[in-house]
Amino acid sequence: MRHSCDSPPLATEPRRRPGRPSVVLRLGVWIAAIASLAMVSILASITVAELSSGEARAINLAGSLRMQSYLIDAVVSSRDHAGNLQAVEQAFTEFEARYRDPELKRAIPRQAGDAVRAAYDDVGAWWSGRFRPAAARAMSSPPNSISLRTDTAEMVTRIDRLVALVEQGLEAKLQWLRLVQGISLVLLLIVGASAVFQLKVHVIKPLADLLDSAHRVRHGDFGVRVPTREADELGQLGEAFNFMVEDLSRNYAQLEQRVLEKTEELACSNRSLNLLYSTTRRLSERAVTHATLLHTLQDVEQAIGIRSGALCLGRSDQLAILGDQIQAAQIERMCASSCLGCGSDNGRLRALPQIDASSPRAVAVPLFDGSHSHGAMLLEQADGTELAPWQVELLETIGHHIGTALAASRRNEESHRLALLDERSVIARELHDSLAQALSYLKIQVARLQKMLGPQQPEPVNEVVGELRDGLSEAYRQLRELLTTFRLRIDGRGLNAAIDDTVQEFRRRSGLAISLDNHLAGPELAPGREIHVLQIIREALSNIERHARATQVRVSLANDGPEHIRVQVEDDGIGFELQSPPVHRYGLVIMRDRAESLAGEIQISPRASGGTRVEADPHLGGAGVAF
């Protein structure tokens, strides 16, 4: 522990005194004794297991000799001696193979005077000297099969004696193992009980006293001392503990003041870290949306202790306001030109000038990503309060995180848009190279067919040919429109610029007076949804050009709540009911399908002053923040 210069002198370090042997040494002796007894028991088990290895197999083999003897007797005693000669020879061979099996011979002791060895040799001698010759004679002379039965019984008796002796040997080994393990168990219990007693007296009791003293010290009782015991490791630990408690009792009072001084700093750091963590996690794990930035703003308000706040985002021609604590008009007065005006001071927080004496003081935190500003976070300060340096630094860091997240979101959306457009271009190229060529070929073939048939064909045939030609022409036209749709591109300028280009294109192509009234602001559509909205407008203008006979067209777009936009295309033409409908009304189907894919719907209604109104309300699902 580190001490200040004016701390009182430390207590004298306790001296070591001789005493009993080390606790570790005593415990090692007891553990070695227990391990030795366990090792003896294990070695005895291993030895018996090695000695008994294969004896069960040997018993089975010896018993099978008995079965083989009966088999030889049964084969020899059958009437068909000529047919069973080969079977008898095979039985002789099998008997000898089992008798000389290595597993059986491994279980037979090699000592000449052993009873098991004598019984094994007796079976072999009886087999080669009596039983096998008798069986051979019975095969050549059937009357001798009666005497073979007597030899078979004698052979089985000798085999039973061999099996019994092998079993007795195995049982003797197991009995010896039980005796060794019983003695080892008794000794283990005695040694274990002694070790437990010594452990309780010389280890557990001193540790319990030391633990109790440590518990009392933890609760502030610095007058406790560990009783002095033997001069082993635990005794030395007790003396060191007493020395430590004396040292703590002198320095504890000095630490209280230092703790109080650091508590406030840690509280501020903790709030800052929590705010930075929650902000970073929210901006990195989720898309940068209205809800994400609103939650971030609420966390800033709570952590910093400000009265209210808002986020200004957008381009120079748009103003997106997130947060409902400050009125929109008030923000526009604070930042008259655009959000970028509040955040143009190279990422440094700055105070905004008060509009009048009654207006609250406010600061603007730029949303700066290191190279570009993406708006500002406007915060109202409570009356009579000033931002501390750590709060200023924290707000600038939060602004940097938000600006970096906005920049990353913009890059991701642009990358997504480019990937989507590339994919659509590939599809358009494939359709042009395959289906468009096929339809062109079919149109040529239909023209050839009509020319070959001539006008003298029956009327039904001419009607079918005409319908086939019209159907192919309509399919080809729809395919060209589909290719135009797939080749449609929305560049980095966004949806609004693409709508402007579309209106200009139809003005030049159709000569219609088309007016555009675009009031879209705030969150933008996802790249995939922008294409659908633009195509709905294009399809509506295409229908007006081909069917409405209009002179004036008005296209209007506006936000319809926080999650929808409203698209209207109106004309002063002949009206929907009077238009010459196409065969399948493909345009209406295309607009309806695209509106449904955007979780919206298409409404087509007549205008009071004449003409038709097409209205769609796409959902903003997946929208990001406008830049």
Q: Which domain holds residue 580?
A: 491-627
Residues 202 and 281 in one domain: no
pLDDT digits (tens, 9 = 90+) for 107-135: 677 777 777 777 777 777 777 777 777 77
> pLDDT band at 351, cuts 50/70/90?
confident
What pLDDT is stored for residue 336 in this prediction?
47
Residues 200 and 328 in one domain: no
DSSP one-letter code for 144: G
CA distances from 104 to 64, 155, 570 (A): 11, 18, 107
Range from 1-15, 258-272, 344-358, 598-612 carrying the lowest mean pLDDT: 1-15
Domain end position, chosen among 405, 431, 448: 405
Split into its structural domains, the chain has a count of: 3
Residues 43 and 173 in one domain: yes
Residues 186 and 302 in one domain: no
Residue 575 lies in a domain: yes
What pLDDT is stored for residue 342 in this prediction?
54
pLDDT digits (tens, 9 = 90+) for 436-453: 778 787 878 878 777 777
Distance between alpha carbon 302 and the CA centroid of its chain, in Å? 33
Residues 281 and 392 in one domain: yes
Residues 6 or more apart whose CB falls under 8 angstroms from that of 126 comprise 154, 155, 158
Residues 527 and 398 in one domain: no
Q: DSSP alpha helices (H): ranges in 487-585?
A: 495-510, 527-543
**CATH number assigned to the domain comprising residue 306:** 3.30.450.40
C-alpha torsion sign, points 44, 45, 51, 55: positive
Residues 286 and 202 in one domain: no
Residues 295 and 204 in one domain: no
Residue 66 lies in a domain: yes
Residue 41 lies in a domain: yes
Residues 181 and 280 in one domain: no
From first CA to last CA, the distance across the chain in angstroms is: 56
Residue 80 lies in a domain: yes
Residue 8 lies in a domain: no
**CATH number assigned to the domain comprising residue 597:** 3.30.565.10
The interaxial angle of helices 233-285 and 389-431, nearest 10 deg, is: 50
pLDDT digits (tens, 9 = 90+) for 453-475: 777 767 777 777 778 878 877 77
Residues 49 and 184 in one domain: yes
Average pLDDT over residues 242-249: 80
Residue 413 lies in a domain: no
- Percent of the chain scoring above 70 in pLDDT: 75
> pLDDT band at 345, cuts 50/70/90?
low
Residues 204 and 58 in one domain: yes
pLDDT over 80 at 313, yes or no:
no
Residue 454 lies in a domain: no
Contact 376, 335 (CB under 8 A): yes
pLDDT digits (tens, 9 = 90+) for 352-390: 776 666 666 778 888 877 777 777 877 777 766 778 888
Residue 594 lies in a domain: yes
pLDDT over 70 at 283, yes or no:
yes
Residues 176 and 314 in one domain: no
Average pLDDT over residues 399-417: 78
Domain end position, chosen among 374, 405, 436: 405
What pLDDT is stored for residue 5 in this prediction?
39
Range from 77-81, 236-240, 336-340 carrying the lowest mean pLDDT: 336-340
Helix (H) or strand (E) holding 188: helix 145-199
**CATH number assigned to the domain comprising residue 96:** 1.20.120.960
Average pLDDT over residues 84-99: 76
Domain end position, chosen among 208, 224, 255: 208
